[in-house]
Structure 1
Amino acid sequence: MAHLSQERVQQLYDAFGELKVLDDIVRHRSTDNPPTPILGYPRFENSVDDYERFTGKQLDEFIDATVKVYLASGLEPDTRATVALLAPSNVDFIVSVFALTRLGYSVLCLSLRIAPLAVINLLKKTDCSTIIHGHSAQVKSTVERVNQDFQIRALKIPIRRQYDRPNSGEAPFVRKYDREEENKRIALILHSSGSTGLPKPIMLSHRAILTHPTQGSGLHNFNALPWYHLYGISTSLQAMWMRKTAHLYNTSLPLTSENLVAVMKVIRPEAIHAVPYCLGLLAEKKSGIDAMRACQVVTAAGARTPDELGDRLVKEGINFGVVFGTTEAGLAGDSMRRAKGDNSWNYLRLYANIRKYVYMNPLGDNLYECVYLKGHPALSTSNSDFPAPGSWHSRDVFSPHPTIPDIWKYVTRIDDRITLVNGEKVLPLPIEGRIREDPLVRESAVVGVDQPIPGLLVFRAKEADHMSNDAYIESIWPSVADANSCAEAFSQITKEMIIPIPSHVEYPQTDKGSIIRAQVYAEFADEIKEMYATLEGKQEGTLILDQVELEDFLMKAFKEAIGVALETPETDFFSAGIDSLKAIQMRRVIQKSLHLNGQVLGQNVVYEYGNARRLAHYIRCLREGESQVHNDESTLMKELIKKYSNFEKQAIITGATGSLGAHTLAQLVAKANVGTVYCLVRGANPRQRVLDSLTERGLQLSSAKEAKIVALTSDLVRSDLGLNPSIIEKMRKEVSLIIHIAWPVNFNISLKSFEPHIGGLNNLIHFSLSVERDGPAQLFFCSSISTASNTRTNAPVPESAVENFAFASNMGYAHSKLVGEHIVRNAARAGAQTYVLRIGQIVGDAENGIWNDKESIPLLIRSALTLKALPAMSQKCSWIPVDTLATAILELSQSLTKSSTLNGVDPRRSDIFYNLVNPKEFSWDDLLEELRAAGLQFETIPFTEWLQKLQKSATLGQENRNPAVKLIEYFKTSYGFDHGVGDKRVRFETKAAERDSATMRSPPDIVKDGYVRKFLRSWMRRWG
Structure 2
Amino acid sequence: MAQLIFNEGNNPHTVAHQKPQLLVNILDGMAYTRPQALYAEFPVSATTYADGFFKVNYADFANAVNGMAWWLETNLGRGENFETLAYIGPNDIRYNSLLFGAVKTGYKMFFTSPRNSIPAHRHLFNSLGCQTMLTSSPAPPVVNAIVGAHPLKVLEVPSVHDLLHKKYPHYPYNKTFEEAKDDPLLALHTSGTTGIPKALVWTHGWAAGFQMWSQMDPAEGFESRDRYYQGNRLFPLLPAFHAGGSYATVFAPLFNQTSVIFPLSGAIPSAHGLAEGLKYTKADIALLAPPWIEEICKDPELLEFLSKNLDTIMYSGGDIPQSYGDVLFGKMKNFFTLIGNTESGLYPSFMTGADWMWFQVNERAGIEFRYQSDDLYEAYIIRKKDAKEQPVFKLYKDIQEYASGDLYAAHPTKPGLWAYRGRSDDIIVFLTGEKTNPTSMEQHIAKHPEVKTAIVIGSLRFQAALMVELASEQPLSVAERAAVIERLWPTIEEANAECPAHAKIAKSHILIVSPEKPMQRAGKGTIQKKPTVDLYATELDALYEDAEKMAVGISTESEALHGIIDVKDTEKVVSFIRDSVAEITKWSKVDDDQNWFIFGMDSLQALILTRKLKSALALPSLAITTIYTNPLVSTLSKAISELSKEEEASKASNDQSRQQLIESLLEENKALIDHIATSTNSKPLLEKENGITLQSNGTISYSNGIVSRKHVVVLTGSTGALGSYILQLLLDTSSVSHVYCLNRSADSELLQIQRNKVRGLPTDFSADRVSFLTANLESPFLGLDEKVYAEILASATEIIHNAWPVNFNLSLPTFRPQLSGAVKLIELSATGANSPSILFVSSISSVASYRAESSAVPEKIIHDSTVPAPMGYGESKYIAERLLDYAASKLNISASIARVGQVAGPINSTGHWNKAEWLPSLIISSLHIGAVPETLGSGDTKIDWVPIDVLAEALIELSFKVGKGAQVFHPLNPRPTTWSALLPAVIESLSGAQSILPAVAQKVLPGKTIETVSFNTWLQRIRAETEATAATSDKAKLEALLEASPAIKLLPFYESIVDSDQWVSLQTSKTEAESGKLSSLEGIKPEWMKLWAKGWFS
TM-score, length of structure 1 as denominator length: 0.47
| Higher relative contact order, chain-length normalized (CA < 8 Å, sep 6+) | 2
